Amino acid sequence: MENKMKRRPNFTETECQTLAELAIQHIDIIQCKFSSTVTIKKADVWQQITDSINAISPTTRSRDEIKKKWQDMVGETRKRESARMMMQRQTGGGSAPKPLSQMQEQILTVISKAFIVGIEGVVESSMEGIYNYLMLMTD
């Protein structure tokens, strides 16, 4: 029972704000496509971000923890903005969705709209859709 790993402390608001600011500053490298030189630059940028956060944090964080936290922050922002947009299209009733925080508003500025609402004009395929298309082609 004593061999269990202890749970790491949650990220503080200061750590999250610093992560958002630094990631947004370096977003062109963080979101870059794969290549050998970009991979090295990404690793360097993430290490700089990690060092900056560890300088202000009571808890020492690894580069992987920092990257995971950024992905989680982007995912949460995307999810909340998507829900907000969906609620806007509905008619009446119900309470308004919780507004985005200032940090989430900042993150939203670097997220592609397609990442939130999908690619317009593209229909998701499904087995039923494929079946219907094939049935039309055989008629």
Has residue 98 got a pLDDT over 90?
Answer: no
What is the pLDDT, as a whole number, of residue 81?
A: 86
**Banded pLDDT at 56 (limits 50, 70, 90):** very high
Q: How far is CA 96 from the centre of its chain?
A: 23
User: Which comes out higher in pLDDT, residue 37 or 119?
Assistant: 37
Nearest to 104 by CA among 83, 134, 131: 83
What is the pLDDT, as a whole number, of residue 101?
A: 87
Has residue 125 got a pLDDT over 60?
Answer: no
What is the pLDDT, as a whole number, of residue 111?
A: 79
Report yes or no on whether pTM surpasses 0.75. no
